[in-house]
Amino acid sequence: MRNLARPVLVIGSLNMDLVVRCERLPSEGETVFGSDFFTAFGGKGANQAVAAARLGAQVAMAGCVGHDQFGTDLIAGLTAAGVQTGSVLVADRPTGTALITVNSVGANTIVVVSGANIACGKELIDRALADTATPGVLLLQHEIPAAANEYAIRTAKAAGWFVVLNPAPARAVPPDLLPLIDIIAPNETEAAMLTGRSIADRADALAAVDVLLARGAGAVLITLGRDGAVYRDATRALHCPALPAQAVDTTAAGDAYLGALGAALAEGSTVEQGLGFAAAAAGLAVTRLGAQPSLGTRAEVTAFIARYGQPQPVSVPG
């Protein structure tokens, strides 16, 4: 994006994705035949960094890889996307991997082996924050240790960063951390785990939003797949529809969304503008295979919006 006012820092995971395509996902104990296999750069942290960088944001990535070819390749991929990698450290563990199965309608199952990602700690976080001249937008996820995320949230918030937490995979967030998080952004499964409420529709999602706000979160964004996303803060409640794209692979759709939102907020866009732009970026991503290979450039997302329109958030009862 042009005229970026603030940087984007992503502290999180880097994984090599091992992807199999098949007609349908296997049931427990069942063997099915795959139609295709490929590797792709992934990890929720790296995906969000690449998503923001391809949209023109000034992005730095902090995380850990191993002493292996996967690690070398992941760093090279970040660099090629325009992400600063001075805070990607090499740990004495194998690079993280993700085993992904994708069916014919784009649904997936994912098993993550954390590897070097569990080496992320205070030293890495201090280095990443010190290397950034001015505070901006910090994107965090749950693929690094909980203690590292907690330290990052507390330290970055005290330094003036706008903190966005994507609590994926789902795990509890300490109650005293919620007031330090500017936007907590789970999907419906993660929101259900965080709140103890089942989420079957938009009304359920808005009820879960209220729970998290009552616990102290600054704002809550719950992504709902084909039904778009709901957002609420202290003054407004919004629903932003998704684009009706034909899904090929939903892997990294959430990362495309949050990377685009982070880039938009760093540029100075309003939340409403950011939600619509993020929905378009995610809509483009699901039409492509793979995690980072699916993430669009600014020109590609702009062309996608020109063809399908940019979703517009609307106020909903809150």
Query: Which residues in 235-244 are b (16+ Cβ under 10 Å) and which e?
Result: eebbbbbbbe
Please report the DSSP string for the chain in residue order: --S--S-EEEE---EEEEEEEESSPPPTT----EEEEEEEEE-HHHHHHHHHHHTT--EEEEEEEESSHHHHHHHHHHHHTT-EEEEEEEESSPPEEEEEEE-TTS-EEEEEE-GGGGG--HHHHHHHHHT-SS--EEEEESSS-HHHHHHHHHHHHHTTPEEEEE--S-----TTTGGG-SEE--BHHHHHHHHT----SHHHHHHHHHHHHHTT-S-EEEE-GGG-EEEE-SS-EEEEPPP----S--TTHHHHHHHHHHHHHHHT--HHHHHHHHHHHHHHHTTSSSSGGGPPPHHHHHHHHHHH-----EE---
Q: Angle CA(22)–CA(170)–CA(104) in degrees, nearest 5?
A: 15
Determine which one of 17, 233, 249, 255 is catalytic: 255
Q: Any catalytic annotation for residue 255?
A: yes
Supply 197's token pair: 């409420």
Residues catalogued as catalytic:
255
